[in-house]
Chain A
Amino acid sequence: MTDQSVIEPSGSKPSKRFSRGNIILYGTLIVVSMYYLLPLYVMIVTSLKGMPEIRLGNVFAPPIEITFEPWVRAWAEACTGINCDGLSRGFWNSVNILIPSVVLSIAIASVNGYALAHWKFKGSETFFTILIIGAFIPYQTMLYPIVILLREIGLMGDLAGLVLVHTVFGMPILTLLFRNYFTSIPEELFKAARVDGAGFWGIYFRIMLPMALPIFVVAIILQVTGIWNDFLFGVIYTKPETYPMTVQLNNIVNSVQGVKEYNVNMAATLLTGLVPLIIYFISGKLFVRGIAAGAVKG
């Protein structure tokens, strides 16, 4: 054959960055991102406009004159009924509800998941299956039984009752996640700890917990989102002084006074979503890792 060193490459050298595939890929991603960002953009833009500008009609146009008044109003002035102190009233209530609910529900679910993964006993899988089916039951249909239950144990109207309800309804999915995650932790580690004389709680606190960060992140995210955004339980199991932010939001958004103050509504909506949003943005990578460990295997 001919001298090989002069043979030209028979394939074409791919140009790395701007290949057609890449353009299509990034193009699609950017277009799709726009769909996802659109509502956020609209909400932000609208919340920074004055009502006259909104009536001009283009939701997508950036504000001509930026005003933070809607935010101020949403936070501190918007009226519901006769109270005109906006969302601010609900914020700390929400925090007060959120923290014990998240802590308790995750604590219980993680122990459940751990027991189901490493300390199986007769019937444990059955209870777990029931729990999973429970994840499909619409909350609203459980409203009455729960009300009656809480009445019977005397927790109706107590913050403890609300925490309990969040714990119960968070349990199925969280338990599933924790169970799958702990199952993925090598059994040998568990065995080693038993040989080392650690008991149920010793292994849980000393061995399992420190390894469970990703799944805790997932659980926290899910619970914070769920509990922070909850309206139904929050309003039924609390009193007006302790109404969570979502009740305030509902009131602001649904009390129409003359015209709908879209800018205030948007600002209120954004303010309400801020807490979970922040948590999402700071925990992105851990979330995927946790999902990988807790949701996919199993």
Chain B
Amino acid sequence: MTTTSQDDARAARRPIRLFRNPMAKIASIPMILTALVVFVGGTAWTVVYSFTDSRLLPRLNFVGLDQYERLWSTRRWLISIENLAIYGICSLILTLLIGFTLAAMLDRKIRGEAVFRSIFLYPFALSFVVTGLAWQWILNPDFGLQEVVRRMGWEGFTFDPLNNPDIVMFGLLIAGLWQGTGLIMCIMLAGLRGIDEDIWKAAKVDGIGTVKTYVRIIIPMMRPVFITALVLIASGIIKLYDLVVAQTNGGPGIASEVPAKYVINYMFRAQNLGQGFAASTMMLVSVIIILVPWAYLEFGGKKRD
């Protein structure tokens, strides 16, 4: 054969980068479009219109920060934020706690694991609307839990969270946890299954008790799992809306209002789009505040793989 270095110069030409593996890029177009048009575009649109005085229909009449000023001087918004904070913190902690505890119990090689797992998971199949209704019903003071306990003899028993502004968020929490802990349990269970059994053995030889092993060794090892769970829970909390509407509709009074509901109400009922957009922009900002550290932890820390 001939020498190779010259006549194969054609084959040796470096192809243009953009056209290498074209199928992969074509196949990613839906994703790229979604990311750019829907998420970036939609978000930008929302942010832009939050600086206008749009009412029923979006219109570009800029009013600066007026909407934000009003937003932050509205009691209902402040209460919404406060409620979300209470609900969010409690829900985050309790979901992780309960989810992990249940997973840990199921991980102890018990009989009937599949049955218990299905029981804990099935509420996740039900929508928040259904969840809200079911719990509204159970917590109904006239024929729900409270009444049943009273009939059993504790006349003074009072548990009426849905009509008590001070604890209504906990009424929501009961329902929210019921619906959401199953999935987290599943994730935790999957995480626990991924832990090297030798770690358990090592801890046992070291004479470390079960609880202590979980707290000091297993949980710190499950950081990535906790982060996944955290993201899921947090994204659910921010979106909290359906449950509130179904269970309390913000009541009693405005005691269980949440930001997403504020957004909807101002966009559609009060017909003040600008105000709704300003509120949703604030929600977005808080999402980003949450996400940036997470992204940093997830991607910034380990550049290796």
**In chain A between 59 and 96, which residues have their CB closer than 8 angstroms to a CB of chain B?**
59-60
- Answer whether residue B228 sits at the interface, using C-beta atoms and an 8 A cutoff: yes
Given the interface pairs A168-B34, A175-B31, the reply to whether A122 lies near B110 with Cβ below 8 Å is no
- Answer whether residue A296 sits at the interface, using C-beta atoms and an 8 A cutoff: yes
Indicate if the CB atoms of A58 and B147 lie closer than 8 Å.
yes
- A33: which B residues are within 8 A, CB to CB? 116, 119-120
- Answer whether residue B117 sits at the interface, using C-beta atoms and an 8 A cutoff: yes
Residue in A37, A39, A115, A128 whose CB lies within 8 Å of B135:
A39
Number of A-B contacts (CB under 8 A): 250
- B110: which A residues are within 8 A, CB to CB? 25-26, 29
Indicate if the CB atoms of A42 and B21 lie closer than 8 Å.
no
Given the interface pairs A131-B34, A142-B42, A145-B46, the reply to whether A59 lies near B148 with Cβ below 8 Å is yes
Task: Give complex CA distance A44, B14 in Å.
Answer: 68
Indicate if the CB atoms of B123 and A296 lie closer than 8 Å.
no
- A231: which B residues are within 8 A, CB to CB? 127, 129, 242
Indicate if the CB atoms of A138 and B280 lie closer than 8 Å.
yes
- A108: which B residues are within 8 A, CB to CB? 30-31
Indicate if the CB atoms of B114 and A285 lie closer than 8 Å.
yes
Residue in B17, B25, B264 whose CB lies within 8 Å of A140:
B264
- Answer whether residue B239 sits at the interface, using C-beta atoms and an 8 A cutoff: yes
Contact-residue size bin, chain B (C-beta under 8 Å from the other chain): 35 or more
Given the interface pairs A35-B178, A277-B126, the reply to whether A112 lies near B31 with Cβ below 8 Å is yes
Indicate if the CB atoms of B46 and A141 lie closer than 8 Å.
yes
Residue in B118, B263, B284 whose CB lies within 8 Å of A281:
B118
Nearest B-chain residue to A43, judged by Cβ: B134
Segment of B65-73, B89-97, B183-191 engaged in the interface with chain A: B183-191
- Answer whether residue B62 sits at the interface, using C-beta atoms and an 8 A cutoff: no
**In chain A between 86 and 128, which residues have their CB closer than 8 angstroms to a CB of chain B?**
108, 111-112, 114-116, 119, 121-122, 124, 127-128
Segment of B2-10, B137-145, B155-163, B198-206 engaged in the interface with chain A: B137-145
Task: Give complex CA distance A269, B128 in Å.
Answer: 11
Residue in B28, B125, B128, B137 whose CB lies within 8 Å of A124:
B28
- A200: which B residues are within 8 A, CB to CB? 21, 23-24, 27
- B119: which A residues are within 8 A, CB to CB? 33, 36-37
Indicate if the CB atoms of B23 and A201 lie closer than 8 Å.
yes
Instruction: Report the minimal beta-carbon distance from B250 to chain A, rounded to whole angstroms.
Output: 14
Name A residues whose Cβ lies closer than 8 Å to a Cβ of B.
25-26, 28-29, 32-33, 35-40, 42-43, 46, 54-55, 57-60, 108, 111-112, 114-116, 119, 121-122, 124, 127-146, 148-149, 167-168, 171, 175, 199-201, 221, 225, 229-231, 246, 249-250, 253, 262, 265-266, 269, 272-273, 276-277, 279-281, 284-285, 287-289, 291-292, 295-298
Segment of B75-83, B165-173, B213-221, B287-295 engaged in the interface with chain A: B287-295
Given the interface pairs A112-B30, A273-B125, the reply to whether A145 lies near B133 with Cβ below 8 Å is no
- B290: which A residues are within 8 A, CB to CB? 136
Q: Which 6 A-B pairs have the closest CB atoms?
A: A229-B127, A292-B190, A119-B24, A200-B23, A145-B42, A141-B280
Indicate if the CB atoms of B190 and A295 lie closer than 8 Å.
yes
Given the interface pairs A39-B134, A136-B291, A296-B194, the reply to whether A288 lies near B189 with Cβ below 8 Å is yes
- A272: which B residues are within 8 A, CB to CB? 127, 130
Instruction: Report the minimal beta-carbon distance from B58 to chain A, rounded to whole angstroms.
Output: 7
Indicate if the CB atoms of B122 and A277 lie closer than 8 Å.
yes
Instruction: Report the minimal beta-carbon distance from B128 to chain A, rounded to whole angstroms.
Output: 8
Indicate if the CB atoms of A131 and B134 lie closer than 8 Å.
no
- A250: which B residues are within 8 A, CB to CB? 129
